[in-house]
Structure formats: C-alpha cells, structure tokens
Structure 1
Amino acid sequence: MEFGVEHLVGTFFAVLFVVLNAGLLGTVGHVVAVVLALVAAAVVVLAYLRSRAARGSAGMFAMTRAYRVIVTVEVVALVVGIVVCGRLAPQLTVPWIVLVVGVHFLAFARWWPDGTEAAARGGRDGARAFLVIGGVMTVLAVAGGVVGILGGPASQPVAAFVAGFLTGVVMLVGLVVPAVGRLRA
C-alpha cells in the first residue's frame, strides 16, 4: 500500500480525536493514550516518507469537483451542528462531529475516489477503506448519540469517549496496520 497525504490528514484527525476525548481514562490513562496515538502517528509518517521516496512525489490527492462539494457540505454541517448542539445538547457535539465525518467518508467512497491518484494507488480498495471507516464512524457516532440522549448533559464525557475516542483508536489502527506492512516491505 502506498501512503499519500490523505493518510497524514487522517492520522492528524485520529490523534486529535484521541487527545480530545480520552478524558474517561483518567490522567495517567489519558497520557498513555496520547503517547500511543503519537507513536502510531510517527509510524504512519514514516510509511508516508518511504512511499514518497519510492514515488518521488508528495502523493497529493486530486481535489476534484466531487471532493470540493463533499468537503464543503461537511464543513457547513459541522459548523451548523456544533452551534446547534452547543446551545441545545452539548453532549451531542462530539457524536455529531463523528457522524458528519463518517458520512463524508461514505460520500467519498461513492463519489470521490474514481479517477483520482489516491484511487490509482489503492484501486477500489481506497473506496472500500472509505466505506469501512465511514461505516464504523457512523455506528460509533450513533452509539455516542444514544448515550448522550439517554444520559442527558451529564453523559457528555461518556458520549465523547464512545463517539470520539473510539473513532480515533479505530482510525489509528486502520492506518498503522498497513503502515507497518509498508515499512516492512
């Protein structure tokens, strides 16, 4: 598997999900989770650098019309949802963010990869990867949302952990496993 800029972007957001939503682990657990997330990110960066050296390019993805439309809708949905959740149900903010990001991956699987350099590197496996992570994120977002709805405002840390932290962990595992394989090749 070749690693491109899209893998670095995913890694950045996965680490962010872990760092911001690991509060239920306590201070020591939070620090351990952050350190492990940073180690995982370093492995992905090394795999990217190895891929880049082999390709002789940065491996930038094509910003097609579909990509721009999907990301624009995502940004608008994030901003509106964060404002609404912040005012009405703050415990649903993280699940909302994860839901929107998960749905954006599902949209990528359908409309973006065909004909892009990312798809050329990963074939339809790129679309399959978007489907898997989008599906998992959507399920975790719904689970966190259910926790938030049933538990009310006091459930915010649990809802954030279920939707945010677990999403970050899943994303990092999904990135690190092929990164280790790339480094071994």
Structure 2
Amino acid sequence: MTGLLVGAVFGAVFVVVNAQSPLNTVTVNVLRVAACLAAAGVLAMWFATARKERQEGEARAQRGMFGRGYLLIVAAEVILLFGGLRVLSAWGLPEQANVAWVALVVGVHFVALAPVWKDWSIAVPGVVLTLLGVAGLVMTPTAAVAWVPVVSGVLSGVVLLAGAVTLGLRAVMPRTA
C-alpha cells in the first residue's frame, strides 16, 4: 500500500500542476478536485491496511522491496530527470516538453522496477506513462504544444491514480472464494 500511496500522491500532483489552459476552468477544477479525492481515498485505504499489514508481517517483507536494485533505479531516475531537463532547456525546447520528459522517465522507472520487485503489474502503468511522455515530446514542436501538459501530465496522473485506487480497493475489499 505504501507504493500505491506514493503513486497516488504523484498522480494527484501530475493532475493538479498540469490541469490548466487549454482546458476550460470547470474541467480544470473538476480534474483537480477528483485527483485530490482519489489521493485522499488511497491515503484512507493505506491507514485501513497499515495495522493489518503490521500484524501480518507484510511491512517487514516490503522493506526488502527498497533494496539495492530499487536504489539504483531511483538514482538513475534522478539523474535522467534532472539531466534530461537541462538538455531539453539547452536545446531550446518549450517548457511544456519538461512534463513529457518527466512522464517518460517515471514510466521507464516503473518498467525497470517490475523485474526487481517481481511484480509485472507495475509495468502496465509504466508503459502507458512512457507512451504518454513520448506522445508529449512528439507534440512539443507542433502547434499542439499547449496540449502537452494535458496529454503527458494530466493523463499520466489519471493513470497513476486509477491504478492506485483500483489496486488499493483490491487490497481493502474482503475476498470471497
């Protein structure tokens, strides 16, 4: 659930920061409120499952998830994020390219984590975020540049939130045989 909470928070940030013009004000506000409510829902699910996980020893098992492989991937992600942003700036690309780059790097990070965590379900949003990042980078030099934050930012946030809420509900809901 901790990973879902992190994904939900970043998803909400993607939506809140990138929901802007050319979207109309009503759409922007609806997206921002929905993103915050979804993140709050995942936070509530995190609290609901934290006690149960502690009792079942799952918290100790999760600590192994953040080992050497994880740290190497996160270090590479930080280098790619900040180095890539500097390269985009040096190339004189519009500011909208930054959100596309962030979506691409975050997506690749999920794909890279899948074999480390032995959980291929995280590769799915990773591939989607990667594709949304690539789409935004392709759109950057075109007349559609104003839509890059919506495509690469808002849609990436929606993907992260939808995944976190869906998997969170699966974790919280009682299972029937």
Does the 8 Å contact 2:5/2:164 carry over to 1? no
TM-score by length of 1: 0.82
Which residue of structure 2 lines up, in the alignment, with residue 72 of structure 1?
A: 75
Aligned pair partner of 1:32 in 30, 33, 39: 30
Does the 8 Å contact 2:111/2:127 carry over to 1? yes
Which residue of structure 1 lines up, in the alignment, with residue 53 of structure 2?
A: 55
Root mean square deviation, CA, Å: 1.8
Which residue of structure 2 lines up, in the alignment, with residue 109 of structure 1?
A: 114
- Percent identity over paired residues: 36
Deviations 1:98-137 (A, max 9, x none): 1111111111012x214xxxxxxxxxxxx22221011101
Q: Secondary structure at the match of 1:25?
A: coil
Match for 1:56: what amino acid? R
Does the 8 Å contact 1:43/1:180 carry over to 2? no
The whole-number CA distance in structure 2 between the counterparts of 1:68 and 1:37 is 28
The whole-number CA distance in structure 2 between the counterparts of 1:182 and 1:6 is 12
Aligned pair partner of 2:169 in 147, 158, 180: 180
Verify: 1:161 aligned to 2:150, yes or no.
Answer: yes
Aligned pair partner of 1:96 in 97, 101, 105: 101
Which residue of structure 2 lines up, in the alignment, with residue 15 of structure 1?
A: 12
Verify: 1:148 aligned to 2:140, yes or no.
Answer: yes
TM-score by length of 2: 0.85
Match for 1:54: what amino acid? K
Deviations 1:116-175 (A, max 9, x none): xxxxxxxxxxx2222101110111111111111333xxx443111111110100111111
Runs of 4+ in 1 over 4 A off after TM superposition: none
The whole-number CA distance in structure 2 between the counterparts of 1:49 and 1:61 is 18
Give the deviation of 1:177 after TM superposition: 1.8
